[in-house]
Amino acid sequence: MTDPTRQAHTDTSGSQQRPDAEPGDGQADAAPNTPAYSDIDLDRWREYDHVWTDSLWLIESRDATGGHELDYHGSFVPQIATQSLLRYTKGDDIVLDLFLGSGTSAIEAQRQKRRLIGVELRADLVEYVRGKVRPELLGDRIRLLHGDATDEAIVGHVRRHLSGMDADHAQLVVLHPPYHDIITFSDHSADLSRIDGLPHFLDGFESAARHAFQLLEPQRFAILVIGDKYARGELIPLGFYCLDRMQRVGFRTKAIVVKNIEGNERGKGRDSNLWRYRALRGGFYIFKHEYVMVFRKPS
C-alpha cells in the first residue's frame, strides 16, 4: 500500500511544469514553490495524487497504518487528519485539536512530523492518548490538555503551551465536536453531547469556535468535521448550523467536502435491513455522508 504521507520524489524531466508557468521561467533553480501554508511543491504538482482535491471523498476503509487503530466509538477516519495536515500545514507547524477524543490527529501529527496541542474533556481519554504517543514527543512536540473547549479559560491554557513551544498561534485547527446527542461521550455537564436543546448545543459549539479563532494564526485554516441528524422525523442540518456559527466568529468558508461514512462503522450492515424498512416507511434517507468543512481565518 502506498504511504499517503510520502513526499513527492524528485523529477528532473521537466514534465512537472505547473499549468500557470511561462516557458523558461527558471523553475528548476528556484526554491520550492509551495503555498504559504503547506509543503506541497507546486512545480511537481503531478506527483501529489495522494493529496485529494475533489469535494467528494469515497473512502473504502479506515487507514490502519502508522499507529492508527479503531479504538473509540466516535473517532474520525485517519484519512481526514492525513489529508488536512498534508494540505494545510508545513513540517513543525502546530495543530490545535479542541475535541481530541482518542487522538487520531495526534497520531497523524506524530507521523507527519507536525506538533500538536490537543484538548479533551475526558481525563481518562487524555491519559489513554498519552499512552499512544511516542514518549519523547510528549510535553514537547505533542501536548495533551484536559480541559473544556467551550470555557474561555482554555484560551489562556493553550496560549501558555504555545508559548512553551515558542509560538503565539496554532497553524491549523481541527474541530470534531459531538454531533449533538447522537453519541453521549461522558457525564460531564460541559460535554457538548449532553447539552439539552439544539440552541444551547450551538451556543456551546460557537464558544469553542471562537476560542479556536483566537488561537489560530491569521491566513491559516480550520477543519470542521460534522454530520447532520434526525429528530422527531425531521432532518436537523447540524452541519450547516455549525458552519453558520463558524462564520459568525469570523471564519471564511473555503470548502465543503462530502465524505462517505462507510468504513467508520462498527457492526456494519448489522441493522441495515431494519433501517431500510424504516426509511421506506418514513420517507427519509439513511445517512451515508458527513462533512469535512474547511475555513480560513482572514488576515
Site of interaction with ligand SAM (CB under 6 A): 72, 74-76, 99, 101-102, 104, 119-122, 125, 148-150, 176-178, 185-186, 190-193
Residue 170: strand pairing partners = 216
Give residues with Cβ within 8 angstroms of 80, minimum separation 6.
Answer: 104, 223, 225, 259, 292
CA distance 55 to 246: 19
The minimum distance between CB 53 and ligand SAM, in angstroms, equals 23
Task: Check: CB of residue 226 under 8 Å from CB of residue 242.
Answer: yes
* Whole-number Cα distances in Å, 167 to 29, 161, 178: 32, 9, 29
**CB of 233: closest distance to ligand SAM in angstroms?**
25
Supply the minimum distance, in Å, between the C-beta of residue 11 and ligand SAM. 35
Return the number of the residue (94 or 119) whose C-beta is nearest ligand SAM: 119
Grid look-up 473504502 returns 60
Of the pair 66, 74, the CB lying nearest ligand SAM is at: 74
In angstroms, what is the minimal distance from the CB of 295 to ligand SAM? 17
What is the smallest separation between the CB atom of 195 and ligand SAM, expressed in angstroms?
9
Nearer to ligand SAM, 43 or 108 (CB): 108
Shorter beta-carbon distance to ligand SAM: residue 52 or 205? 205
| CB nearer ligand SAM, residue 191 or residue 265 | 191
Looking at residue 272, its amino acid is S
Q: What are 149's three cell numbers?
A: 473547549
Q: Tell the smallest beta-carbon distance from residue 21 to ligand SAM (Å).
A: 39
Give the 3-state secondary structure of 133-199.
Answer: CCHHHECCCEEEEECCCCCCHHHHHHHHHHHHCCCCCEEEEEECCCCCCCCCCCCCCCCCCCCCCHH
Q: 16 vs 102, which CB is nearer to ligand SAM?
A: 102
Provide the 3-class DSSP secondary structure of residue 47: helix
